[in-house]
Each structure stands twice: as structure tokens, then as C-alpha cells.
């Protein structure tokens, strides 16, 4: 019997993953002792470093001096217990502050098993947080987990040392065959027919990287839409199906419990749909007021496809162009369902669905305290034809839009 209950939407799985390795403050000392063999008290012998990596280490040391004790850095090595060579794309990392303080994203893979970080929590606000923790006698902790598709995932828990480098040394052991897992499933069209010749990618879920792709595997579905990835170490994975001209679909995958004999995780509900785009009219109020009756309110029309980089109302642009990198509103699709989402969150931006009403009838943006959450995390607002939406932008102005058309794009 396949372990169907072990698949999760990627957002749910990421939340589950980010909770791994996080400990209450009183537990950090205990966890440090349990993982002490991975934490080095002295630096690595410089003769061990590859020459180019030694240059990075020296640069980090200099940066720590220049930061007057405010910087935070890690230098680490990963070795295979069986003596194998660690390739440049073999590793992924999950690095998180403990107690839970959000994920950390800059664990850089150099290659040959070496990795590094610098300024894990940069900036004056984070520096203040670190200082306060030290003043209270409880320096912040970090939890680092190393991920590989064939090997175990060792973890190290340690205290942050401001102005110094923490040195870590990991040895990965190969997972025995009886503990390995398989991820298999099927890909379907939205009409219920299996979709063949579809690329399916399996990858490790991590929160680190500087552009180095963590380990991934690819396969192609057969005539029945089936795919399979075998002999995997029991970690958290994502699986995503792609086919040119179709909107992709993906799931997060959790490993079976260690005591379970059936090591297969079934992902048989991947559905690829025909992509859609919207045509919308909008006006932007540059004076910062909520009033849509006064000022230079020129109506403009744009087309937007999902995952296109979003819209910047101030400049009337879709995508990454324009003078402001931040977008005000993004369009997403999941299994044919379109939704708006605020991607670049400030303290007050958001999107409000005014319903299927005449565009001109929305004369004022609603009071932000009622319709925009304080943290700005407006997500998954369904996109409906002829609905009017009011958006508080990244920079604090207001815009309103009406969805005139939702157009299905036929795969070529």
C-alpha cells in the first residue's frame, strides 16, 4: 500500500521543514553536546583548503575585522565516510536560527565538500537582536543540516559567535538499501487523461544556496503518465512536472516513517492545465490617498501571465523592468485556478476584492485597518472576471483594477 498521506503542498511542506532542527533556548546546550563532534574548536589546517577557497576564508576573516565584531560566519567541510569525492552540486543545506527565528538563506557551496557563510543575520536590526540575546546571557543558536540524496543528514546545533568563525566538520554515511525510499506517481491533463512525455523533476528542499543547484533528478512520464524515482535517502523532497505549453504542478514529499516497510511515496495527483492570462484595466493614485475620484487617474490596460514578475502600478509595467525592483502584485496559477498574491511584503500593502461591481463605483480604497492585514501577507486571493480589486502598493499608494478577460492559452 503506497504512502499517499505523505505528500503535501509545497508551502505546507516548507513550513514543516523549517520547524525541523529548531529548539527552545534551554535545549540548545543539550543539542550542542549531542552534535559536538561536528563543531571544531580550532580552525582547519590551511593546507587542507583548496587555494581558491583559502582566498574566500581570508576575505571573510578580513570582513569580520572590518565589521567591528558584528559579523557572523561559518566555515565547513563535508566528507563521505566511504571515501567518495564530494561533487560541487552534491549538497544542499537547511540552516535556521534557533529558537525559531525564520530561515537563513546564505549557506554557499564552494565545491570539494567545502562550504561557507558570512553575515547570516546582517543589518543593524539583526545586530541589535544578537546583542540583546548575548546581553541576556543566551546567545542565539543555529541549526545546520546537510542534505544529499544518497547519504544520511547530519545536523549541528551551535551558538552564534559574533566577530568569529564557527568551524564545522561533517561526515556523511551512505543510507542502507532497506532504509531508502521511492517516489512514484502519475501526471494528468486537466480533463483526466494521463499526460505522457512530461518532464518530472525531483529535488531536495533546502533553505540555502548561492545559485548552486542542489541535487536534482529528472525523468519523463511514459504513455500512462507514470514516473518513478528510486533508491532515495529518506529526506524531504519536492516533485514538479513540466511540459512546454502547460502550467506546471508540484508537491512536497515527506519520507515514510522509519518503521514502515513500504518505502514508496505515491504522488499520483499532479495535474497540468492549460495556462491562462488576464487582461485588466487599472488606475493608480500617486498622491497616497485612498481617493479614486481626484487627481491624474489615467486608465491603463495591461496583460499579465502567471509568474511573469508581477505588476508595478506606478510605472504601468509587468515584469522585472522599471526603476523599482519591487512588484506591487503578482499573479499565480495552481491547477488552472488563478490567484493574486503580494510578493514583496511591507507593513501595510495588500489586495482587497471589491466584488463584481462597476469599475467607477469603487470611488475610495477601503480603510487599510479593515482590509489589509498588518503584516501585509495577503495571499491566494481568487481572480474572477469583472471583479474589482483594490491594491495598496509596495510604496504605500493605492491602485484599483478590474479583470476584463481571463484568456486560456492553448498548448502548442
DSSP 179: G
Q: What is the pLDDT of residue 76?
A: 93
Under CATH, which number does the domain 276-408 receive? 2.60.200
pLDDT at 24: 55
CATH fourth-level superfamily of 4-172? Immunoglobulins (2.60.40.10)
Nearest of 82, 49, 215, 78 to residue 155 by alpha carbon: 78
Name the residue with higher pLDDT: 246 or 322.
Answer: 246
80: three-class secondary structure by DSSP:
strand
Instruction: Decide whether 4-172 matches 177-272 in CATH topology.
Output: yes
Q: What is the rounded distance in angstroms from the CA atom of residue 90 to the CA atom of residue 216?
A: 9
Residue 27 near residue 19 (C-beta atoms within 8 A): no
Cβ-proximal residues to 205 (8 Å cutoff; 6+ apart), any chain? 10, 13, 14, 17, 94, 235, 236, 237, 238, 252
What is the model's pLDDT at position 64?
85
Whether pLDDT at 286 is above 70: yes
> What tens digit of pLDDT does each residue of 87-127 get?
878 888 887 777 655 444 567 888 889 999 876 554 444 66
**Which span out of 91-100, 295-304, 344-353 was modeled with the highest average pLDDT?**
295-304
pLDDT digits (tens, 9 = 90+) for 151-175: 998 888 888 777 888 899 999 999 9
pLDDT for 38 equals 83
Q: pLDDT above 70 covers what percent of the chain?
A: 81
- What DSSP assignment string belongs to 334-388? ETTEEEEE--S--SS-EEEEEES--GGG--BPPPHHHHS-TT-----EEP-TT-E
Nearest of 294, 314, 280 to residue 397 by alpha carbon: 314
**Of the given ranges (204-213, 233-242, 250-259, 285-294), which has the lowest mean pLDDT?**
204-213
Distance CA 69, CA 257 (A): 44
- Does 22 score more than 60 pLDDT? no
Residue of 151, 172, 145, 173 whose CA lies nearest to 234: 151
**Mind listing the pLDDT tens digit for each residue in 59-74?**
999 888 887 766 778 8
For domain 177-272, the CATH architecture is Sandwich (2.60)
Q: Which of 90, 164, 78 is nearest to 120 (CA)?
A: 164
Dist. CA 196–CA 243, nearest whole Å: 9
The residue extents of the domains of the chain are 4-172, 177-272, 276-408
Nearest-angstrom CA–CA distance, 401 and 280: 6
How far is residue 51's CA from residue 9's CA, in Å, rounded to a whole number? 43
- Residue 394 vs residue 300, higher pLDDT: 300
- What CA–CA distance (Å, rounded) separates 220 from 216? 14
Calculate the dihedral angle through the C-alpha atoms of 30, 36, 40, 41, rounding to the nearest 10 degrees. Answer: 50
pLDDT of residue 120: 56
225: left (phi over 0), alpha (psi -120 to 50) or beta: left
Of 119-123, 184-188, 244-248, 404-408, the one with minimum mean pLDDT is 119-123
Instruction: Rank 94-108, 142-156, 180-194, 246-260 by mean pLDDT and report only the highest.
Output: 180-194
The string of pLDDT tens digits covering residues 354-406 is 999 999 999 998 865 554 554 445 678 999 999 999 998 888 899 999 999 99
* C-alpha of 18 from chain center: 10
Closest C-alpha to 129, from 121, 119, 120: 121
The residue-averaged pLDDT of 170-198 equals 95
* Position 77 pLDDT exceeds 50: yes
Sign of CA pseudo-dihedral 216, 220, 225, 227: negative
- Does 306 score more than 50 pLDDT? yes
Distance CA 134, CA 356 (A): 54
- 48 burial type by CB count under 10 A (0-12 exposed, 13-18 middle, 19+ buried): exposed
Answer for the pair 391, 350: CB distance below 8 angstroms, yes or no. yes
Look at residue 220 in the predicted model and tell me its pLDDT.
97
Instruction: Provide the pLDDT for residue 215.
Output: 76
With a cut of 90, say whether residue 3 has pLDDT above it: no
The phi, psi pair for 267, rounded to 5°, reads: -125, 80
Beta strands in 30-135 (DSSP E): 39-40, 73-80, 92-98, 103-104, 108-111, 114-118
Specify the pTM.
Answer: 0.73
Q: Taking Cα atoms as reference points, which of 76, 98, 95 lies closest to residue 30?
A: 98
Name the CA dihedral angle for 339, 340, 345, 350, rounded to a multiple of 10 degrees.
-120
What are the phi and psi torsion angles at 124 (to 5°)?
-65, -35
Question: C-alpha grid cell for residue 54?
Answer: 583559502
- Report whether 227 contacts 183 (CB < 8 A): no
Amino acid at each position: 500500500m503506497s504512502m499517499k498521506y505523505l505528500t503535501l503542498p509545497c508551502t505546507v511542506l516548507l513550513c514543516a521543514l523549517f520547524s525541523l532542527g529548531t529548539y527552545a533556548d534551554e535545549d540548545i546546550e543539550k543539542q550542542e553536546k549531542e552534535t559536538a563532534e561536528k563543531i571544531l574548536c580550532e580552525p582547519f589546517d590551511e593546507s587542507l583548503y583548496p587555494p581558491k577557497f583559502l582566498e574566500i576564508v581570508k576575505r571573510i576573516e578580513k570582513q569580520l575585522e572590518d565589521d567591528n565584531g558584528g559579523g557572523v560566519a561559518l566555515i565547513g567541510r563535508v566528507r563521505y565516510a566511504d571515501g567518495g569525492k564530494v561533487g560541487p552540486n552534491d549538497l544542499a543545506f537547511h540552516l535556521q536560527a534557533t529558537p525559531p527565528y525564520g530561515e537563513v538563506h546564505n549557506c554557499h557551496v564552494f565545491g570539494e565538500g567545502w562550504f561557507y557563510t558570512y553575515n547570516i543575520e546582517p543589518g543593524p536590526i539583526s545586530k541589535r537582536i544578537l546583542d540583546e540575546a548575548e546581553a541576556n546571557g543566551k546567545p542565539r543558536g543555529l541549526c545546520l543540516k546537510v542534505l544529499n540524496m544518497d547519504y544520511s543528514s547530519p545536523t549541528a546545533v551551535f551558538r552564534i559567535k559574533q566577530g568569529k568563525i564557527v568551524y564545522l566538520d561533517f561526515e556523511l554515511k551512505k543510507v542502507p538499501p532497506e532504509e531508502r525510499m521511492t517516489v512514484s506517481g502519475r501526471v494528468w491533463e486537466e480533463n483526466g487523461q494521463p499526460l505522457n512525455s512530461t518532464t518530472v523533476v525531483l529535488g531536495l528542499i533546502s533553505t540555502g544556496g548561492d545559485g548552486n543547484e542542489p541535487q536534482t533528478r529528472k525523468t519523463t512520464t511514459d504513455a500512462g503518465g507514470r514516473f518513478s524515482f528510486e533508491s532515495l535517502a529518506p529526506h524531504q523532497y519536492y516533485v514538479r512536472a513540466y511540459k512546454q505549453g502547460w502550467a506546471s504542478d508540484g508537491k512536497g514529499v515527506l519520507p515514510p516513517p522509519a518503521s514502515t516497510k513500504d518505502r514508496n511515496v505515491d504522488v499520483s495527483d499532479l495535474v497540468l492545465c492549460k495556462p491562462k492570462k488576464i487582461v485588466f484595466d487599472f488606475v493608480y493614485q500617486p498622491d497616497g490617498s485612498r481617493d479614486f475620484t481626484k487627481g491624474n487617474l489615467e486608465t491603463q490596460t495591461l496583460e499579465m501571465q502567471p509568474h511573469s514578475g508581477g505588476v508595478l502600478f506606478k510605472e504601468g509595467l509587468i515584469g522585472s523592468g522599471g526603476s523599482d525592483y519591487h512588484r506591487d502584485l503578482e499573479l499565480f496559477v495552481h491547477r488552472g485556478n488563478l490567484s493574486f498574491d503580494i510578493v514583496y511584503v511591507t507593513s501595510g500593502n495588500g489586495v482587497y476584492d471589491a466584488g463584481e461591481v462597476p469599475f467607477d463605483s469603487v470611488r475610495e480604497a477601503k480603510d487599510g485597518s479593515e482590509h489589509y492585514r498588518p503584516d501585509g501577507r495577503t495571499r491566494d486571493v481568487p481572480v474572477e472576471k469583472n471583479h474589482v480589486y483594490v491594491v495598496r502598493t509596495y510604496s504605500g499608494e493605492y491602485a484599483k483594477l478590474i479583470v476584463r478577460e481571463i484568456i486560456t492559452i492553448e498548448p502548442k
